[in-house]
Structure 1
Amino acid sequence: MDKHNLNGKTIAITGSSKGIGKETASLLKERGANLVLGSRGNTTKMTDHILELHLDVQNEQSVKSFYEQAIQKFGKVDVLINSAGVGLFDSILDSSTDDFDQMISVNLRGTYLTCKYFGKHMEKMGKGHIFNLVSIAGTTPLPGCGGYSASKSGVLGLTKVLQVELRKKGIQVTSVIPGAVSSSFWDNIEPKPDLSSMIPVESVSNHLLYLITQDSGAYIDEITIMPPLGIL
C-alpha cells in the first residue's frame, strides 16, 4: 500500500491560491486528500473532496467561519498547513509602519488564529498535525527583512510553545523553515531576484507530503530546507 495515499485524510491549507500553498494543494489532491482551501482570492466552491473558501487570516471571524465550514463539510481536519503570508522589504529605518503592521497581522496573528481554532478541534480528536511555514528570515538576520523577520521569528516562537502545549495531547506541530523559494511570492517585488538558484516550489510541497505521511512514533519539530547554494 502506498504510504503517500491520503484517502480519508482532511487537510486545511491557508494561502492556497499561490506559491507553496497552491503547489501543495495540487500535490495533495493527486494523493486523494480531502482539501479545505482558504485564500483571500477564493470564492466558495465545493466538490466531493475539495472545499474552497474565502479566508482573511487577519480577521478572527473569517478564520472561525473557515474552520466551522471545514468541519461541517468533512467532519474533521487531520492536518493544518499555515502557508498564508506576505513579505514587504525595506531597511527598518526606511520602512513603512503600515507594511510592518500588515506582516505582523498576516504572518503572525493569522497563524495564531488558525492554530487556535484548528488546535482546539485536534485536541478533542486526540490527534492532528499543524505545519507552520516560517522562513530562513525568521532565524537569520537579513538586510531589508526587518518586519518580515520579526513576524516569522514570532511564528517560530509561537510554534515552539504550541509544541510544548500540545505534544502530550497527541498533536504534532512542525516548523517548516525554507530558504528562498522560486514562487509567486516574488511577483510584486522589485528588483526581481534570481529565481534560478532558489528552491523549486514543488520541492517544498514534496517535503510537506513526506512529513504528513511519516510513520508514528516520533515527532518532527522543525525542518530547514535550503537552496543548494545556501542563503541567497
Structure 2
Amino acid sequence: MLFDYNTLKGKNVAITGATKGIGKATAILLSSIGANLLIGSRNAEELDKLSATLQTKVIPQQLNVEDERSIINFLNKGIEKLGKIDALVNCAGYGSFSSFLELPVEQFDRMIAVNLRGTFLTSQHFAKHMMKNKRGQIININSIAGAAVLEGNAGYSASKFGLLGLSRVMQLELRKQGVFVTSILPGSTNTPFWDDIENHPEKSKMIPQETVAKHIAAILCQPDGAVIDEITIMPPLGIL
C-alpha cells in the first residue's frame, strides 16, 4: 500500500481554518484515522462544536491568522497540550471576486493578509518549532487561481500566486532542516466558500471537500524516500 494511514495514529496535526470547508473535512478525516489535532478558527463556538464530534484528542483554540500574537498563542497552546506539533495544514483563506477596476482595496488587502501574510506567519512560527525536532510537514492549501488567471480574480490570484512562490522558497529552505512543504492547488471545490458568491459554478460538478481531505491525509503519510512538493487537483470537467 503506497499510503499507510496507520502512520498518522498518534501524530499531532495543526489545522487552520478548521471549522469550514477543506479544513473541517480534514479535521474529521484525520481524527477518524487517529491523529490528535490542534484546530484553529475565528469562530470559537464552531470550534467547540467540531471538537465535540471528533474521536481523538482535540485542542480547539481561537485563531486569527491576520494577528501574529494569535498565531503564537495557537502554537503555544498546541505545544502545551500535545507536547509537539508534527504537521501543519494551512486551510485559512478568504476570497472576494470582482473585476480588477472595481475591486475595493479593502478586499484586496484582506486577501493578501489572510491568504499570503497569514500563511507566511503561521508557517514561519510552526517551522521554527518543527526544526527543533528536526522533522515536520507543512501543507499549504493554495488554489488553481494560484497557477491560472481567471477574470474577476485579480486580488485572489495575486494572493495565491504569491503563496505558490512563498511555498516554493519554503520547500528549498526548510527541507534542509527536515521540514517538508507541499502545495495543494485544488480547482473548484464544493465548500461554503461559494455561498456568498453570485454566478458560481454548479456545485455538483466541483471536487467534494472530502476528496481534498483524502489527498491531504495521503500527503501526511507519504512514504520515506521521496517528497511531494506540489499537486494540482481538478474537477473531472476541468476548470468550471
Whole-Å separation in 2 of the counterparts to 1:8 and 1:72: 16
Instruction: Give the deviation of 1:154 after TM superposition.
Output: 0.8
Quick check: 1:170 aligned with 2:195? Answer: no
Whole-Å separation in 2 of the counterparts to 1:226 and 1:3: 24
* 2:165 corresponds to: 157
Match of 1:33 among 20, 28, 35: 35
Instruction: Give the deviation of 1:187 after TM superposition.
Output: 1.1
Quick check: 1:222 aligned with 2:230? Answer: yes
Whole-Å separation in 1 of the counterparts to 2:236 and 2:43: 33
Whole-Å separation in 1 of the counterparts to 2:227 and 2:218: 13
* 1:64 corresponds to: 72
> 5+ unaligned residues in a row in structure 1: which ranges?
none
Quick check: 1:4 aligned with 2:12? Answer: no
CA offsets 1:1-28 (integer angstroms, 9 cap, x no match): 9921222200000000000000000000
* 1:87 corresponds to: 95
Runs of 4+ in 1 over 4 A off after TM superposition: 43-48
* 2:129 corresponds to: 121
Matched position secondary structure for 1:12? strand
* 1:14 corresponds to: 16
* 1:206 corresponds to: 214
Whole-Å separation in 1 of the counterparts to 2:59 and 2:16: 12
TM-score by length of 1: 0.96
User: What is the alpha-carbon root mean square deviation over aligned residues?
Assistant: 1.5
Whole-Å separation in 1 of the counterparts to 2:219 and 2:96: 29
Whole-Å separation in 2 of the counterparts to 1:172 and 1:79: 9
Equivalent pairs counted in the alignment come to 232
Whole-Å separation in 2 of the counterparts to 1:30 and 1:58: 30
What letter matches 1:31 in structure 2? I
Q: Is the 8 A contact 1:17 1:42 kept in 2?
A: no
Whole-Å separation in 1 of the counterparts to 2:9 and 2:233: 27
Whole-Å separation in 1 of the counterparts to 2:191 and 2:205: 12
What letter matches 2:27 in structure 1? A
Instruction: Give the deviation of 1:193 after TM superposition.
Output: 2.8
CA offsets 1:124-182 (integer angstroms, 9 cap, x no match): 11000000011000110100000000001111111001011111111110000000001
Instruction: Give the deviation of 1:190 after TM superposition.
Output: 1.4
User: How high is the sequence identity, in percent, across the aligned residues?
Assistant: 52
Instruction: Give the deviation of 1:221 after TM superposition.
Output: 0.4
What letter matches 1:221 in structure 2? D
Instruction: Give the deviation of 1:192 after TM superposition.
Output: 3.9
CA offsets 1:85-142 (integer angstroms, 9 cap, x no match): 0110000101111000010001001100110110001111100000001100011010
* 2:191 corresponds to: 183
Whole-Å separation in 2 of the counterparts to 1:141 and 1:202: 26
> Higher mean Cα deviation, 57-66 or 1-10?
1-10
> Higher mean Cα deviation, 218-227 or 41-50?
41-50
Whole-Å separation in 1 of the counterparts to 2:116 and 2:174: 19
Matched position secondary structure for 2:132? helix
Matched position secondary structure for 1:93? helix
Quick check: 1:134 aligned with 2:136? Answer: no
What letter matches 1:81 in structure 2? V
